[in-house]
Chain A
């Protein structure tokens, strides 16, 4: 009976209903887009796998090493010996050790790309397949040890190049498609920057096999076996040694213990724990700010609902009085208006979520095409997680009911005789 009265009322006075409906829908759409974007980014940076991975990783370097100076190779670098790597691997906390090596000499690269030939000094690193941990590199390719050697470039480097260098110089963008398979000539013992000649130039062929976010930013990464091979074959270096290593522990609780034990071996150990916590607090704070913003927006919508309901009740005084003389109690009248508020809330939350989803599709596409030159980007920006949607819609309904409570009580208290005898 209530719903018949409510529907009848909406049919004959759609304006007020539409006003409340659109206020809630607008607030909810804005909030849903922001929340799902927030969640999408959070999931990308701190998603379950991501967070766990960060909390399981240690970066181990020899004490006092300055990585980038190895370009000049002037200062003898402290190194991680295979024995030290063995020692670390033997620790009970440690699941795997993924060391990086490098060539013991200078090198530069020639690369034909986008119709041009570039030549530059470059570092050559070696790592194991496990370190790459990237869907953009295939394992079979990585394990071949014939020329052209498989080489991997940091996805971050390509993003950096596209965002700053290519854009600024009006050069074409590097994409996965146009960069993969590119031929590279490695020139050992040759430098374009320094007038040095450490021996006869050796030319080796390599080929871009793929991209990984886990390799070193500046330089080219090859399979570590190949680096060892190059060292012994062309650079008179038979001793195997490493620049640094990534150590993964079995689970995040073991991180501190592993750090202490590796430190005790005389090595520098870094974890990303701190930056992870910084990032986490950024997300917590921005989430909080979003919630406050949502609460404010909803409070505004709520005030609008309150005033609309009050106006409605003043306008419908006569009708309420008639219903009361017929046998509705004050409680019934309050229920009638609360039910209406509930329906407004429920319909707005359904409409708002649907609309937000519809808007997110082209928005996602637009942002995606803006970011298309980045290799590192979230798969989905707007992540419509059920629990977020649930809380958003629950809050919308709650606000609608909360702000109609006083008007409903006022309606319940109306005295029919006073109204009807006027």
Chain B
């Protein structure tokens, strides 16, 4: 398996006045292409911080993050933004859809940002249709986020994360705001997308059942990797 992402000695410290919060210390982690990895750990252990670093939304104080053989610490803000747009999809616990945009516009937004245009090309429209269908949102496409259910919102967010055809999909407690049944559906959807498209998926979760669907579980404890990657016996 080719390595998609590699963390070497990564540390992150937050400064709150005089107080230092060492959110992450000395993380070494390697994620292969097509991996389904879940990150578990108690609250405050640094899971979200780690995911933000993986998503290039934040920068580590120490160590290096290498994505597709590129040392991301050497990239400019613009290059990092480009990387995020083209290689990374992010799914949040509370969906983070744009309230003023319809479901389909929310999903299409990364394409518009990438092209800088106001309308989709024919091929992009086709892609949008596929995604809407995959996410089962075709009949909700013109609704605003506040007019659809939580599960539908999260499916729209996943659609938005996928439309740019990223190689890495990151999800921070994607089921945290959903009822167990809907949560299960979402996780099922995510893992299916991964195995179908060879996408690398990293999920932060509190839910043991969700974590168990991954083929690798990483546990964080006070900012350190507590259990070195602990491989599962079977895939999918």
Contact = CB atoms under 8 A, between A and B. Distances in A.
Contacts of B58: 417
B109 A326 contact: yes
B113 interface: yes
B110 A326 contact: yes
A223 to B, nearest CB: 74
B142 interface: no
B90 interface: yes
A421 B77 CA distance: 21
A284 interface: no
A332 B81 CA distance: 10
A332 B116 CA distance: 11
A175 interface: no
Most buried by A among B58, B85, B96, B114: B96
B116 A322 contact: no
Interface string B156-170: 000010000000000
B141 interface: no
B110 A12 contact: no
A233 interface: no
B98 interface: yes
A87 interface: no
A16 interface: no
Contacts of B92: 420
A417 B57 contact: yes
B82 interface: yes
Nearest to A13: B100
B48 interface: yes
Interface stretch (A2-10, A166-174, A224-232): A2-10
A252 B68 CA distance: 79
B100 A11 contact: yes
A218 to B, nearest CB: 73
Interface string B26-45: 00000000000000000000
A420 B113 contact: no
Nearest to A322: B96
A374 B96 CA distance: 70
Contacts of A321: 96
Nearest to B101: A8
B84 interface: yes
A417 B101 contact: no
Interface in A318-334: 318-319, 321-323, 325-332
Interface string B80-113: 0110111000101000111111000100011011
Nearest to B100: A12
B223 interface: no
B46 interface: no
Contacts, number: 65
Contact of A417 (B52, B113, B115): B52
A325 B57 contact: yes
B90 A325 contact: yes
Nearest to B110: A326
A287 interface: no
Contact of B81 (A4, A9, A12, A327): A327
Q: Is the interface of A mostly helix, strand, loop or mixed?
A: helix
A351 interface: no
B117 interface: yes
A370 interface: no
Contact of B115 (A1, A12, A332): A1
A13 B81 CA distance: 28
Contact of B117 (A1, A8, A332, A416): A1
B208 interface: no
B100 to A, nearest CB: 4
Given A318-B96, A416-B57, A326 B101 contact: no
B145 to A, nearest CB: 11
Given A327-B81, A328-B81, A1 B57 contact: no
A303 B136 CA distance: 47
A327 B114 CA distance: 8
Given A325-B55, A325-B57, A9 B100 contact: yes
B84 A4 contact: no
Interface string A297-320: 000000000000000000000110
B181 interface: no
A321 B58 CA distance: 13
A330 B80 CA distance: 12
A104 to B, nearest CB: 86
Nearest to B83: A327
A50 B102 CA distance: 63
Contact of A3 (B48, B105, B118): B118
Nearest to A318: B96
Given A319-B98, A331-B78, A417-B58, A326 B48 contact: no
Given A3-B118, A416-B57, A328 B113 contact: yes
A421 B204 CA distance: 14
Nearest to B49: A417
A1 B113 contact: yes
A327 B115 CA distance: 12
Nearest to A3: B118
A339 B146 CA distance: 28
Nearest to B87: A327
A325 B53 CA distance: 12
Given A8-B100, A318-B96, A416-B57, A327 B84 contact: yes
Interface of A: 1, 3-4, 8-9, 11-13, 318-319, 321-323, 325-332, 416-417, 420-421
Which 3 pairs, one residue from A and one from B, show the smallest C-beta to C-beta distance? A327-B85, A1-B112, A12-B100
7 contacts: A1-B118, A321-B96, A325-B96, A326-B90, A326-B109, A326-B110, A331-B77
